[in-house]
């Protein structure tokens, strides 16, 4: 490792922070250590209907398939812990209450990749990923030292908790690696115990087919009846396993204003009246588009049905 290589790593980290990222770490670009576990997870059917995960299996198991010659991974974190104090957004997972994170992060990652290509020796190439490329971002970020993988399968940071997005830059440049952090979950099982649908098969193993986030976002068609009650009040995503995590008791607040909600969420009965044009107009800048209109209205109808049933039993508001 030369002085020039050390200087380049320092410059890359400084530039990442200048671009607005909250944390940055560097690791190697080889195959992720948990590749075998990922394959077992896929083979067990825990991915549900997310067939794209299996289609990109080979690339996820070896980043060099995406970027031949890759030597380093620059992993960045962007916090989304915005305390807006608006209860209307409670049925939506915290990460989706503001701007779509892809739109916020990708331009900055592209700028960072461009900086690396210019600052490194001639011929260096870089490629970015924001959970839309066939990359195991969480594993690569954990190996770099951005955080450690918690029992709820989220990446955890000492100061940010788990309320942050992960961005990756694969590069053929040689950069000084930081090294992974130790697992600090200890004997705590709060996240596993709190899941209302029993989605955790074991610590660090999530059956997406039972996960509220998967059911309300990725799943198409009716939600299986045995899992409907566990959906509770969620119409998009779920934060329960994060809310109970001790590392999320006092996470640093997000500095990015784009993740704050743009006004209150309309009442659920109004959302139920949205046509396709109205849905696209209302959520054109939001990650909620991922559920599609049919999925969102399905979720809203289920929550309203729960409320009516609770009112009939004398427990409604």
In this predicted model, what pLDDT tens digit does every residue of 207-234 receive, in sequence order? Answer: 999 999 999 999 999 999 999 999 999 9
Question: What is d(CA 199, CA 210) in angstroms, rounded to the nearest whole number?
Answer: 5
Question: What is d(CA 180, CA 183) in angstroms, rounded to the nearest whole number?
Answer: 9
Q: What is the pTM of this model?
A: 0.93
Q: Is residue 74 a contact partner of residue 26, using CB atoms and an 8 Å limit?
A: yes
Q: Which of 43, 131, 139, 222 is catalytic?
A: 131
In this predicted model, what pLDDT tens digit does every residue of 235-255 receive, in sequence order? Answer: 999 999 999 999 999 999 999
Computed over every residue of the chain, the mean pLDDT equals: 94
Domain ranges of the chain: 1-317
Residue 127 has pLDDT above 50, yes or no: yes
Q: Tokens 């309203």 — which residue? A: 304
In this predicted model, what pLDDT tens digit does every residue of 62-121 receive, in sequence order? Answer: 999 999 999 999 999 999 999 767 899 999 999 999 999 999 999 999 999 999 999 998
Which residues lie below 8 Å from residue 204, measured CB to CB, with a gap of 6+?
149, 150, 151, 153
Query: Which H or E element spans position 113?
Result: helix 101-119
Question: What is d(CA 276, CA 234) in angstroms, rounded to the nearest whole number?
Answer: 21
Strand, coil or helix: what is 128?
strand
131 labelled catalytic:
yes
Token couple for 180: 């992974």
pLDDT of residue 6: 75
């Amino acid at each position: 490792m030369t002085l020039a290589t050390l200087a380049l790593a320092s410059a890359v980290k400084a530039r990442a922070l200048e671009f607005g990222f909250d944390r940055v770490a560097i690791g190697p670009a080889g195959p992720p250590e948990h590749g075998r576990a990922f394959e077992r997870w896929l083979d067990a059917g825990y991915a549900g209907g997310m067939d794209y995960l299996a289609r990109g299996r080979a690339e996820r198991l070896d980043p060099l398939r995406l970027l031949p010659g890759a030597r380093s991974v620059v992993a960045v974190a962007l916090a989304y812990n915005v305390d807006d104090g608006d209860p209307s957004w409670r049925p939506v997972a915290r990460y989706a209450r503001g701007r779509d994170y892809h739109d916020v992060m990708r331009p900055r990652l592209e700028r960072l990749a461009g900086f690396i290509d210019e600052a490194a020796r001639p011929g260096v190439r870089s490629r970015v990923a924001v959970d839309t490329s066939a990359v195991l971002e969480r594993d690569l970020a954990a190996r770099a030292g951005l955080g450690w993988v918690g029992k709820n399968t989220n990446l955890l940071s000492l100061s940010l908790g788990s309320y942050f997005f992960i961005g990756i830059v694969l590069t053929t440049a040689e950069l000084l690696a930081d090294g992974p952090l130790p697992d600090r979950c200890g004997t705590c099982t709060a996240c596993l115990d709190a899941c209302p649908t029993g989605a955790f098969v074991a610590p660090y193993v999530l059956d997406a087919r039972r996960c509220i986030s998967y059911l309300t976002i990725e799943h198409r068609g009716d939600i299986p009846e045995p899992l409907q009650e566990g959906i509770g009040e969620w119409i998009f995503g779920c934060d329960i396993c994060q809310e109970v995590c001790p590392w999320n008791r006092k996470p640093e607040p997000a500095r990015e204003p784009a993740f704050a909600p743009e006004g209150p969420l309309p009442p659920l009965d109004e959302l139920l009246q949205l046509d396709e044009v109205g849905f696209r107009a209302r959520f054109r800048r939001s990650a909620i588009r991922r559920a599609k209109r049919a999925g969102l209205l399905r979720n809203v109808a289920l929550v309203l049905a729960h409320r009516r049933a609770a009112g009939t039993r004398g427990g409604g508001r």
